[in-house]
Chains A and B, each alone.
Chain A
Amino acid sequence: MKKTAKFAFLATTLGTSLLLLTGCSTSQKSSTSSQTKTLNVTMGLSEDEWKVMRQDILPDFEKQSGIKVNAIQMESTDVQKKLEASAGANKNQIDVIAQDLNTTAKLVNEGLMRDLTADRKIIPAATYAKQKSIGVFGGKTYFLPYRPNVEINYYNQTKFKEYNLQPPKNWDELLNVAKTFQDKEQLGRVGLKFDSSGAAIEIVEFIRSAGGDPLILNDKGSITAFTYLQKLWPYLSPDSQKGTFSTTNTFLAKDEVYYMPNWPFATNIIVGDGGRKDILADAGFAGPKGEVKTLGGEVLGITKSTTKTKEALTFIKYMESKAVQKKLLEKNGWPSFREDVTGAITGWQKPYYQATDQALKVAEPLPNVLYWADETAILNDVLQEICVQRKEIKPTLDKYAQQLKALQNEAK
């Protein structure tokens, strides 16, 4: 009995004191709010990138414009959840988002973004032609260019040397590399990112580099692509099906796969923090109709719910300025969307930047259709049926092409 009482007493005291603490701190917070406008901006960055953002980029803007920027770490998938909740509640929480290009269709489709067609004039003249039209859906502009990015293909130099292999430059070589590893180690060691929660960007790369169109799906190119994938599949690492941008780093760094594409941020984690200096990268391989990569990176958009459109546009203009783009290139190694921003990168990261630069030259954005999320599901299902269940290629593609047509009609 005594012990019980003591326990109860302890717990209550602890609890009340903690709650009191909260009470105090929240009241403090609210009292510091001032007259200046504050923009809530979301970005998904690594710690090093945040350092550059917080020290070199944002303070200058706040000084120049008198607008405070509240920069929030948020992954693109979570931005969507957040905006849905805000929209449902009719509240504004976020003003500007720096969003993964390949998830923008969903946001526009759900009506979460502001139409920026009238503000297209703030896109700098020096923008690469390809970048000018990204973020345009059905003739309306919802996102503005900010940071182009592309996956590069990492490979394990030690293992490639051990088996006398070269990083693959075309589909035949890729198949050969995959076969050799499988043969020597009885385990697939070539990984591709076929995680079903992704935007299916690598499937699109295969289709397009065979001359196919993912929006048709049963054309000649798509058939070639899936025929090849069906052949390649048994030699791929089983980890391919759970390759996300974060798990891929572990697979590569722990020698679980010897070849796998990922976004360039992986360089710092695998080579920088992990000390795996023998893991190099190149721009990837070409298909029968040349090499096509999927353009990624981030674009800037303004939420529909914001009340600070003017300030948000000022901020976007600043982020797109030459000076900021140059700083981001030099300090973070982000390639710019502006033709007039070029910089020399030095140090050990240089070869990786070069690979990124080269890959960007063949990068094409995903088709900017609003139903892209559904299309992604379809592509993943096709892969599942053709590669895992090993169904016949043509009938399967025909079946899904039908579904896709229905979807396209629905979208109209």
Chain B
Amino acid sequence: MKWFKKYHLELLLVLPMTFYILGFTLLPLIRTIILGFQNRYTGKFSLSTYQALFARPDFLKSISNTFVIALLSLSIQIVIAFIIALVLKQRFHGRSIIRAIVLMPMGIPTIVSGIIALYVFGTSGYFNELLFKLHLITKPINWLTGNFKGLLIIALADMWKVLPTLVLLLLAGLDSISQDIYEAAELDGANSWQSFRFITLPLLKPTITMAVLLRAVDVFRIFELPQVLVGKSVPFVSTFAYEEYDIGDLNGSGAASTILLLMILVFAILWLKFVDRGGSFGNDS
């Protein structure tokens, strides 16, 4: 009761959102997970759905593809977004225009960004034409085929679309670091690399963790872009989740989704444990 009294305002504020999320996401989600552990025809609990899934050609490859694209995408995205955020942090002429320009891709839906990527990286695309004009190639290259090339292009297309989000997040984080700290460091004789390494990075850790996790959930589930760009030649776990759903096998779809869920969980836990080390969400002063 005492706890309730102390937190009654908080409870009141939290309840609407909690109910909404519980009812509309958590419950269907748990139901779908259970479906994955049921036999498709008999409805009995069994691992047959998982066995069938792992027997599919390329399912194991789709798991490794998903991990590779996630790590590749995340590292490219965070590094480039960081550079852009640091640039935008500087005071210079025309900063607000550049800032608006950086935000431009935010309004492009994924389906359209996929089309643009096709225009750019297709066999008769603008990228090949550019290389051709620069006399770097004589015959067009098919970029969107199933190997590292394909994964890289997907990562790039995905990066373009989400850079604004990441830049804004990192910028907000950078802005929250007080200028005083930098000034003090400068007085102590720190050069700009040192202040970046020993002030910016550590203080930005919570923001980076948030950005990484926020992006990780999307990158692991990546589906639309590969579908448009590479088709089945580079399978991902979400491709399987979708395919199974498409043929009416909700159990298989549930199982693939659950595997994806586990993969993200593993990634998040590893990140929090080894990279973040309690840096975020722990500042409960």
Contacts and interface: CB of A to CB of B under 8 A. Distances in A.
A/B contact in complex, CB under 8 angstroms: yes
A398 interface: no
Contact of A186 (B58, B139, B233): B139
A77 B247 CA distance: 10
A374 B139 contact: no
A384 interface: yes
A241 B142 contact: no
A106 B250 CA distance: 13
Given A241-B233, A384-B57, A187 B247 contact: no
B243 interface: yes
A384 B58 contact: yes
A254 B230 contact: no
A377 B248 contact: no
B161 to A, nearest CB: 19
A77 B231 contact: no
Interface string B20-49: 000000000000000000000100000000
A250 B123 CA distance: 11
Contact of A197 (B144, B146, B246): B246
Contact of A250 (B41, B56, B118, B231): B118
Nearest to B123: A256
Contact of B248 (A109, A242, A255): A109
Contacts, number: 73
B233 A376 contact: no
Interface string B192-233: 000000000000000000000000000000000001111111
Contact of A381 (B57, B142, B229, B233): B57
Interface of chain A: mostly helix, strand, loop or mixed:
helix
A250 B142 contact: no
Interface in A360-412: 373-374, 376-377, 380-381, 384-385, 388-389, 410
Interface string A185-226: 111000000011100000000000000000000000000000
A373 B247 contact: yes
Contacts of A197: 227, 243, 246
Contact of A187 (B123, B246, B249): B123
A193 B246 CA distance: 18
Contacts of A388: 146, 233
Contacts of B248: 106, 109-110, 373
B58 A187 contact: no
B139 A185 contact: yes
> Which of A186, A238, A247, A374 gathers most chain B CB within 10 Å?
A238
B255 to A, nearest CB: 14
Contacts of B56: 381
Contact of B232 (A77, A195, A254): A195
Contacts of B142: 187, 237-239
B124 interface: yes
Interface string B112-151: 0000001000111000000000000001101011100000
Interface of A: 77, 106, 109-110, 185-187, 195-197, 237-239, 241-243, 247, 250, 254-256, 373-374, 376-377, 380-381, 384-385, 388-389, 410
Given A106-B248, A377-B243, A384-B57, 15 more contacts: A77-B246, A195-B232, A196-B243, A197-B243, A238-B146, A238-B233, A239-B123, A241-B230, A242-B144, A243-B231, A256-B123, A374-B249, A380-B232, A385-B57, A389-B57
27 contacts: A106-B247, A195-B232, A196-B232, A197-B246, A238-B142, A238-B144, A238-B146, A241-B146, A241-B233, A242-B227, A242-B228, A242-B229, A242-B231, A242-B233, A247-B118, A247-B228, A254-B124, A373-B246, A373-B247, A374-B249, A376-B247, A377-B243, A381-B57, A384-B232, A385-B57, A388-B146, A389-B57
